[in-house]
């Protein structure tokens, strides 16, 4: 292992060292250097990482308040020790498939608990659509992560047989800090884009199979909420705004699954913590992302409070999300190893595309119970 005294000569190859000290501002730092870089930041980081990683260390690049001066910290590196267990991922996917099939079958009027496993077949259109879109989302993260050499796990799907969709989605575990803002951005945005590109044509296909009929009279019913995109698609395909005049589209299972997947995508794009939107926001704006996340959560709570005063049950969706964002997910995003190299203009433009996508697919009133 490299001795601490050898770090200075190594660092001077890429930095004009103005000062150094043992330890540093972040936990676990062995030694910290301050000064301007002699190379472009990404090239300097790559060179240092290649030299340090085999010796059991990693570099951290951080901005300072002084223009052109960076802080370089050296921390111990221990490769992720957890062994992959694909059978767990496969088992969770199978359980989630059964869970979503069960919910999809109930939605079609079949009850597998009463009619047997054969009744699960009625849930196939809903299950295959929803899990197909969720898989596209998660594997987009996975393959982009692998391209960057990140030790990302396979997706862990979460079965929820007694929820409205039959699943809580899926997660991928990142076992090391992100390399830089480019990797953070690319991995973060890959999921929403991958899922959206499949969800959109499936939503259109499902809507084309969905009849427009009178809304129930004299009995309660659930009404799915409109996003700007969903509202525009219905107007385009059916030639009228819906719901209106006591009429609405009654969703085919494929359409409902695609609508649900776009709702989940919108929630994932919240600029909070380590949600996909949190990754994108930090990659674009750095430490200002925490302030953006707090403001967003304040707005979420405010919207929930307004709905609560209006007696709308959808209020609890946003109050719960405010609680999760504030006390579970948190608004602070961990910095990547290289927090100095900025995003290029192309990625910044794509980041604004993600913001526009969120505006298009966000559903202010996801599901409402309408009681005549």
Q: Is the pLDDT of residue 27 over 90?
A: no
Matching residue, tokens 């540093």: 24
The pLDDT-based confidence of 227 (bands split at 50, 70, 90) is very high
- Domain for residue 302, yes or no? no
Structure tokens at 22: 């043992």
> Is residue 68 a contact partner of residue 34, using CB atoms and an 8 Å limit?
no
| Same-domain check for residues 35 and 102 | no
| Same-domain check for residues 137 and 218 | yes
| Same-domain check for residues 132 and 233 | yes
- What is the dihedral angle through the alpha carbons of 238, 243, 244, 250, rounded to the nearest 10 degrees? 70
Residue 21: beta bridge partners?
Answer: 32
| Same-domain check for residues 209 and 353 | yes
| Same-domain check for residues 222 and 365 | yes
The pLDDT-based confidence of 82 (bands split at 50, 70, 90) is low
| Same-domain check for residues 129 and 13 | no
Residue where a domain terminates, one of 25, 51, 76: 76
| Same-domain check for residues 58 and 92 | no
Structure tokens at 291: 């302030």
- Domain for residue 347, yes or no? yes
What percent of the chain stands above pLDDT 90?
81
Mean pLDDT on 139-164 = 92
* Residue-level pLDDT at 304: 97
Q: Is the pLDDT of residue 219 over 70?
A: yes
**What is the C-alpha to C-alpha distance for residues 265 and 357, in angstroms, rounded to an integer?**
10
* Residue-level pLDDT at 241: 94
The pLDDT-based confidence of 80 (bands split at 50, 70, 90) is low
Matching residue, tokens 């085919």: 252
147-163 burial, b at 16+ Cβ within 10 Å, e below that, comes to eeebebbbbbbebeeee
| Same-domain check for residues 160 and 35 | no
**What is the C-alpha to C-alpha distance for residues 279 and 362, in angstroms, rounded to an integer?**
18
Which three-class secondary structure state does DSSP give residue 124? helix
DSSP string, 286-300: TTHHHHHHHHHHHHH
For the stretch 166-207, pLDDT in tens is 999 999 988 888 999 999 999 999 999 999 999 999 999 999
| Same-domain check for residues 122 and 232 | yes
CA distances (Å), origin 100, targets 58, 162, 252, 311: 43, 9, 15, 31
The pLDDT-based confidence of 372 (bands split at 50, 70, 90) is confident
Of 218 and 15, more confident: 15
Q: Report CA torsion sign: 133, 135, 138, 140.
A: negative
Q: Between β-strands 70-76 and 212-214, what pairing exists: parallel, antiparallel or unpaired?
A: unpaired
- Domain for residue 314, yes or no? no
What is the chain's mean pLDDT, rounded?
A: 93
- Domain for residue 81, yes or no? no
Residues counted in the chain? 372
* Residue-level pLDDT at 368: 86
- Domain for residue 140, yes or no? yes
Residue where a domain terminates, one of 76, 94, 109: 76
**What is the C-alpha to C-alpha distance for residues 307 and 367, in angstroms, rounded to an integer?**
13
Domain of residue 8 covers 4-76
Q: Which of 134-143, 155-164, 180-189, 274-283 has the lowest mean pLDDT?
A: 155-164
Mean pLDDT on 93-104 = 97
> Is residue 282 a contact partner of residue 189, using CB atoms and an 8 Å limit?
no
- 318-321 long-range contacts, Cβ below 8 Å, gap at least 24? 321/267, 321/270
Q: Is the pLDDT of residue 63 over 60?
A: yes
* Residue-level pLDDT at 28: 81
Cis peptide before 243 (omega within 30 of 0): yes
- Domain for residue 318, yes or no? no
**What is the C-alpha to C-alpha distance for residues 66 and 7, in angstroms, rounded to an integer?**
23
Mean pLDDT on 288-304 = 97
Mean pLDDT on 65-91 = 87
| Same-domain check for residues 103 and 195 | yes
Q: Is the pLDDT of residue 312 over 70?
A: yes
- Domain for residue 183, yes or no? yes
Residue 372: burial class (beta carbons within 10 Å; 0-12, 13-18, 19+): exposed
**What is the C-alpha to C-alpha distance for residues 58 and 56, in angstroms, rounded to an integer?**
7
Q: Which of 141, 75, 146 is nearest to 275 (CA)?
A: 141
- Domain for residue 307, yes or no? no
Matching residue, tokens 């989940």: 264
* Residue-level pLDDT at 5: 63
> Is residue 122 a contact partner of residue 105, using CB atoms and an 8 Å limit?
yes
Q: Is the pLDDT of residue 1 over 60?
A: no
**What is the C-alpha to C-alpha distance for residues 173 and 158, in angstroms, rounded to an integer?**
13
Query: Which one-letter DSSP state was computed for residue 227?
Result: P
The pLDDT-based confidence of 2 (bands split at 50, 70, 90) is low
Instruction: Name the domain count of the chain.
Output: 2
Q: Which of 181, 169, 174 is nearest to 289 (CA)?
A: 181
Q: Which of 66-70, 220-224, 281-285 has the lowest mean pLDDT?
A: 220-224
| Same-domain check for residues 69 and 119 | no
Cα angle for residues 76, 187, 175 (degrees, 5° grid): 35
Q: How many CA atoms lie within 13 A of 288 on its CB side?
A: 4
CATH of the domain at 55: 3.30.70
Q: Which of 243, 369, 240, 235 is nearest to 315 (CA)?
A: 369
Residue where a domain terminates, one of 51, 76, 101: 76
| Same-domain check for residues 49 and 150 | no
Q: Is the pLDDT of residue 4 over 70?
A: no
């Amino acid at each position: 292992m490299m001795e601490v005294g050898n770090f200075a000569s190594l660092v001077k190859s890429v930095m004009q060292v103005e000062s150094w000290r043992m330890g540093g501002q972040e936990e676990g730092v062995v030694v910290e250097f301050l000064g301007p870089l002699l190379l472009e930041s990404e090239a300097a980081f790559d060179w240092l990482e290649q030299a340090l990683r085999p010796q059991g260390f990693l570099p951290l690049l951080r901005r300072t308040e002084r223009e052109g001066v960076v802080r370089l910290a050296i921390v111990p590196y221990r490769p992720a020790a957890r062994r992959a267990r694909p059978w767990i991922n496969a088992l969770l996917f199978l359980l989630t498939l059964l869970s979503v099939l069960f919910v999809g079958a109930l939605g079609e009027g079949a009850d597998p608990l009463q009619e047997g496993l054969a009744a699960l077949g009625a849930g196939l259109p809903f299950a295959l659509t929803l899990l197909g879109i969720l898989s596209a989302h998660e594997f987009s993260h996975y393959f982009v992560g692998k391209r960057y050499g990140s030790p990302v796990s396979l997706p862990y799907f979460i079965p929820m047989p007694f929820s409205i969709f039959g699943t809580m989605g899926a997660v991928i575990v990142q076992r090391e800090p992100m390399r830089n803002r480019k990797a953070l951005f690319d991995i973060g945005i890959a999921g929403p884009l991958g899922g959206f590109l499949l969800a959109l044509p499936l939503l259109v296909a499902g809507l084309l199979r969905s009849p427009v009929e009178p809304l129930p009279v004299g009995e309660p019913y659930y009404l799915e909420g409109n996003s700007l995109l969903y509202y525009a698609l219905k107007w385009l395909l059916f030639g009228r705004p819906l719901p209106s005049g006591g009429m609405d589209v009654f969703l085919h299972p494929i359409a409902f699954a695609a609508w649900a997947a776009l709702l989940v995508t919108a929630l994932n794009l919240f600029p909070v913590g380590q949600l996909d939107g949190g990754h994108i926001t930090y990659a674009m704006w750095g430490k200002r992302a925490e302030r953006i996340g707090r403001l967003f959560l304040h707005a979420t709570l405010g919207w929930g409070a307004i709905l609560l005063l209006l007696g709308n049950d959808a209020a609890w969706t946003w109050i719960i999300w405010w609680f999760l964002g504030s006390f579970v997910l948190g608004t602070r995003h961990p910095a990547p190893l290289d927090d100095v190299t900025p995003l290029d203009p192309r990625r910044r433009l794509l980041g604004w595309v993600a913001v526009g996508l969120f505006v298009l697919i966000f559903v202010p009133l996801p599901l409402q119970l309408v009681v005549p």
